[in-house]
Amino acid sequence: MGVSAPLAGDKVPVVPDGRGGYLTWCSGGLQIISWGYDEYNQVTDTPSGRGYTAIAGGGFHSLALKTDGSIVSWGRDNYDQITDTPAGNDFTAITAGASFSLALKTDGSLVAWGNNNGNQVTGTPTGNDFTAIAGGYANSHALKTDGSIVSWGWDFYGQVTDTPADNDFTAIAGGANHSLALKTDGSIVSWGYDGYNQVTDTPSGRGYTAIAGGGFHSLALKTDGSIVSWGYNGYGLVSNTPTGNNFTAVASGGDHSLALKR
């Protein structure tokens, strides 16, 4: 949820929206296109022009990373998730939660802004040894250079305290109130809210290459190019998962999922 999507060449990425019921993507790796729910101008205020390399969708706000390393934000600003967007041009990754955002700097440090109802902003760890970020509803995760995970923010369902202590992780993802991580051996670990078995039904075994967290469901991409989904099955989120083995990426919004085919 809210994870940024880096762009490569002219490939079109699959990007989840937040909880606002809209989708944002980049076309051609340069121009941002938005559509859907627009009460807070999260569509009409989408910046024009080209020169963007990554995008992220929050609850009712969005942000984009420019080629010069600076960040642009738009949409709802009730918690200063727009006005407090950090200046500078030394950012490499972005992600968004419900009403806050998080960015990774070129020096490996983190910056957070917006709603702080769960200390997801003030609890942001210091240091400059982070390599990846993921945002949940009101909590965040960061992957460190040593392969360990640091979590902070809202912890009502163990999203923080149940974070695994291993140091062999290569990717992280956040759902609304659950999280998951991919290990170097290709296996998946999940923790947090389990009301729809999005934790207990996490597939066992190895052979996974990518992960994505939705509102109350998750997806994983296998080495053979097929997709596995589990958790909340409203709207066919699990049962309508496409078959086949020609997929290269997965992503999810609150109550929908997406996959990129070859």
**CB-based contact 217:198 (threshold 8 Å):** yes
Global pTM value: 0.87
Write the pLDDT tens digit of every residue in 179-197.
Answer: 999 999 999 999 999 999 9
Q: What is the Cα–Cα distance from 149 to 177, expressed in whole angstroms?
A: 16
**CB-based contact 37:7 (threshold 8 Å):** no
Per-residue pLDDT, averaged over 59-74, amounts to 94
Question: Pairing mode, if any, of strands 208-213 and 110-114?
Answer: unpaired
DSSP bridge pairs for 197: none
| Domain spans of the chain, in order of start | 5-261
Q: How confident is the model at residue 260 (pLDDT cuts 50, 70, 90)?
A: confident
Helix (H, G, I), strand (E, B) or coil at 127: coil
Tell me how long the chain is: 262
HEC string of 91-120 equals EEEEEECCCEEEEEECCCCEEEEECCCCCC
Work out the angle at residue 11's Cα, subtended by the Cα atoms of residues 225 and 71, and round it to the nearest 5 degrees.
115
Q: Which of 16-30, 71-85, 112-126 is least confident?
A: 16-30
Q: How many CB atoms lie within 10 A of CB 87?
A: 6
Q: Which of 17-21, 65-69, 124-128 is least confident?
A: 17-21
Q: Inform me whether the pLDDT recorded for 246 exceeds 80.
A: yes
**Residue holding tokens 């400059």?**
128
Q: How confident is the model at residue 253 (pLDDT cuts 50, 70, 90)?
A: confident
- Token pair for 217: 């469901």
pLDDT at 30: 58
Q: How confident is the model at residue 214 (pLDDT cuts 50, 70, 90)?
A: very high
The domain made up of 5-261 has a fold known as Methylamine Dehydrogenase; Chain H (2.130.10)
Q: For residue 236, what are the contacts with CB-CB under 8 A and spacing of at least 6?
A: none
Question: Pairing mode, if any, of strands 110-114 and 100-105?
Answer: antiparallel
pLDDT at 60: 92
Write the pLDDT tens digit of every residue in 101-118.
Answer: 999 999 999 999 999 999
pLDDT at 238: 96
Helix (H, G, I), strand (E, B) or coil at 236: helix
